[in-house]
Amino acid sequence: MDHIEELLKLEKASKGIFRGTTRESISAVIRAFDSKIIEIKSKSGEEKKEAIKGQLTVAQALRHDAVRRGANSYKDPRWASAAVVESWLLLLRDGTPEVIQTAESIIDRMR
């Protein structure tokens, strides 16, 4: 799946009067990963790849934990927040500067 598309679905699923918990969870996890993302962006080459790999492991573990706890949709706060960060990290690894900028614009709206 396209990670921009994924972020847009997550943003849409977190909107609305009954989605406050999902929005708050996504925002909290984004803020928790901010310093790690800044650190990753300061690296290059193999060092950057390894830093992304380490944080991807954390984000994937959060998402897998959410699934184990019964998450089954974009509206689940635990799953959604982990998926946002996972997509962000994958785009930092594989995306063009333009795509990363688009993703970070979407992520900023979810803060």
- How does DSSP assign the chain, residue by residue? --HHHHHHHHHHHT-STT-HHHHHHHHHHHHHHHHHHHHHHT--HHHHHHHHHHHHHHHHHHHHHHHHTT--STT-HHHHHHHHHHHHHHHHHH--HHHHHHHHHHHHHT-
| 29 vs 74: which has the higher pLDDT | 29
CB of 13 closer than 8 Å to CB of 73: yes
Instruction: Please check the confidence at residue 97 and state whether its pLDDT lies above 70.
Output: yes
> What mean pLDDT comes out for the span 2-11?
95
Over residues 35-83, the pLDDT tens digits come to: 999 999 999 999 999 999 999 999 999 999 999 999 988 889 999 999 9
> What percent of the chain stands above pLDDT 90?
87
pLDDT at res. 3:
95
pLDDT at res. 1:
56
pLDDT at res. 17:
76
CB of 24 closer than 8 Å to CB of 104: no
Give the chain's radius of gyration (CA, Å). Answer: 13
pLDDT at res. 19:
82
